[in-house]
Amino acid sequence: MRIKAEIFMIPIGISLSFMFLLFTTASAQPPIYMYNFCENSTLLSSSYKDNVETLLSWITTDSFKSNGYNFTTVNSNNNNNDDAVYGLYSCRYDITGYFCQFCITTAASELSRRCPNAVRAIIWYDVCIIRYSNQSFIGNVTLTPTWNITGPRIIKHSSESRKAEESVQSLIWKATVETKKFWAVDEFDWVDNEKRYGWVQCDRDIKSDECSECLHTLLDIFPECCSTHAQWAVFGPSCGIRMDDEKFYQTSGDGGSSKSRKFIISFSVLGSVALLCFGVYCFWYRKRVRRDKMMFDEETLNGDLPTIPLIAVLHSTNNFSEESKLGEGGFGPVYKGILPDGRQIAVKRLSKFSGQGTQEFKNEVMFIAKLQHRNLVRLLGCCLEENENILVYEYMCNASLDSHLFGGDEKRKQLDWKLRLSIINGIAKGILYLHEDSRLKVIHRDLKGSNVLLDYEMNPKISDFGLARAFEIGQNQANTKRVVGTYGYMAPEYVMQGLFSVKSDVFSFGVLVLEIIYGRKNNGLYMSEHGQTLLLYAWRTWGAGKCLETIDPMLEKSFLRSEVERCIHIGLLCVQEDAKDRPTMSQVVLMLASDTMILPKPKHPAFSIGIMASEEVYTSKSFKNVSNNDLTVSVSLPR
């Protein structure tokens, strides 16, 4: 078969474009668009357009199963094949797994956007290519169109041009004769003790001699476009060549962060002694953080939690797009994503400006990785690449409990009494597991409505373990100089003295129970007299025998009087001021399960003077449609 000799030269913007290509390695960063070709037609049939969309969808799906290359034909099964679409995708040989899949998925989406009316189209990214046509090209070599790109660095000696040609010639021989793998990379010694790095690659469905002729045809372009440049590349639909003075490909044993280290080293030697010292300090600090992170990777995770590649997270969230964003809390933004297997996930990304920081991130990973219960949110994995701290959870389609309780009348109507009682029981069982039944004795320290998520069946799942603490065997109480938590849910002994125990969580649970029944926030309840809190209000109406008169009106006739009164009673027992008077969670679960168990009379609730009446001023960014009652505070106590 003869190769078409027609060449359509397309120069590209030199310096800026090549800088993008230069810094593209196999590290977990988004793929970089390079160039596209669209042969448009006004005569496209609707069936042909449909087949193009089907092809691009197939390419995206198939890239998750293949080794980075495949082709197919899509038609409408008619006898004429007049709407058949022939398509192919290919990744650079050293780019595998999620890196390849992410590039192909991104390229397919971009090709559909850029060439909506094309009868033939090609798109090149830095590490992958997609092409389709109405004419079969599989097994044939195509050199139209071709394009080239050059970097800003100019060669020092004219002899380098000839040396570059000879180096590429050796790569072509290696790819087509020596190995017959249709690709080759190599490192070359250069003038002035420099190095050059070369790459050649062909489609995998052509013959060796055809690959050689394709690459030689591209190499013939080199003297016209690129001979004075140290960094250059020439691409066609069926093959490509690239030469660079920086290593841009991956071989076995390569470290993913070599360029970033070089950057920091070079930065540290700039200018004056002051900048030098500062650079050395930054480098030392970065190394220490990396070492600490490696220790965290190996020791804290200890096989309990899978690590998920950053490239997979980027792909699932469309590169952390605004459209994927669910909301933002103290930890950082939260995104919705979809894994290749179709599972929906919630991705929590630690903000670099987060007040909670990496310690809370480590807490979250350490605890949830070791805790498994139907009423705890499930952590699927984490990602620690590229200085990112990311947690990946199962997605809770019904958002948080407080988004329903305080999201308006229509939201509250969805929560009839049967469902609210089920949520109360589920939360109680989840806390009991943390306190008594798990591998660790865990105090959550931040139980509130926004940290209780609801799955598709409205089952409650406790989340956000960033402030959690584990107790040793026999330990019942601890204290801290730094009080962290949320106003309205923190027990009095914790707020005033920094003391926390299982009874601190019991207090928070009691607040939640009362909020669920009354449909009102503990922090934001304004009564006509004294500005009393929900706790005091519930205690007074319960004592007066009028508690049912002021419960959430959305419950209407869906509740049983005895059940509601018993739950209010249990909630009031949990929020008593003295921790010793509060029940344990095992006792709470028994109380909820038994209609005959006699309950003690609750004493005054904590903060019964109404000091929280003006707390509405405390608000923070939170998830969409949730209450503003979720400010996590930090208080330093005197010692």
Q: Which residues are catalytic?
A: 446
Q: What is the rounded distance in angstroms from the CA atom of residue 206 to the CA atom of residue 541?
A: 83
CA–CA gap between residue 106 and residue 460 (Å, rounded)? 36
- Tell me if 136 sits within 8 A of 86, measured CB to CB: yes
Burial of residue 413, with CB atoms counted within 10 A of its CB: 0-12 exposed, 13-18 middle, 19 or more buried: middle
Helix (H) or strand (E) holding 295: helix 273-295
Closest to 535 in 3D by CA, of 517, 560, 553: 517
Closest CA to 491 of 512, 505, 470, 475: 505
DSSP characters over 365-417:
HHHHHH---TTBPPEEEEE-GGG--EEEEE--TT-BHHHHHSS-HHHHHT--H
Residue with tokens 């519930």: 538
For tokens 């000091």, name the residue: 611
49-81 per-residue burial string, b: 16 or more CB within 10 A, e: under 16:
eebbebbbebbbebbbebebbbbbebbbeeeee
How many angstroms from the chain centroid is the CA of residue 319? 8
Sorted by sequence, the CB contacts under 8 Å of residue 638 that are 6+ apart come out as none
Query: What element of type H or E holds 325?
Result: strand 325-328
User: Does residue 462 sit in helix, strand or coil?
Assistant: strand
Asked if residue 200 lies in contact with residue 175, where contact means CB atoms within 8 angstroms, the answer is yes
Helix (H, G, I), strand (E, B) or coil at 125: strand
Cβ contact 608:537 at 8 Å: no
Tokens 């992170």 map to which residue? 293
The residue to which tokens 């344990």 are assigned: 584
d(CA 19, CA 21): 5
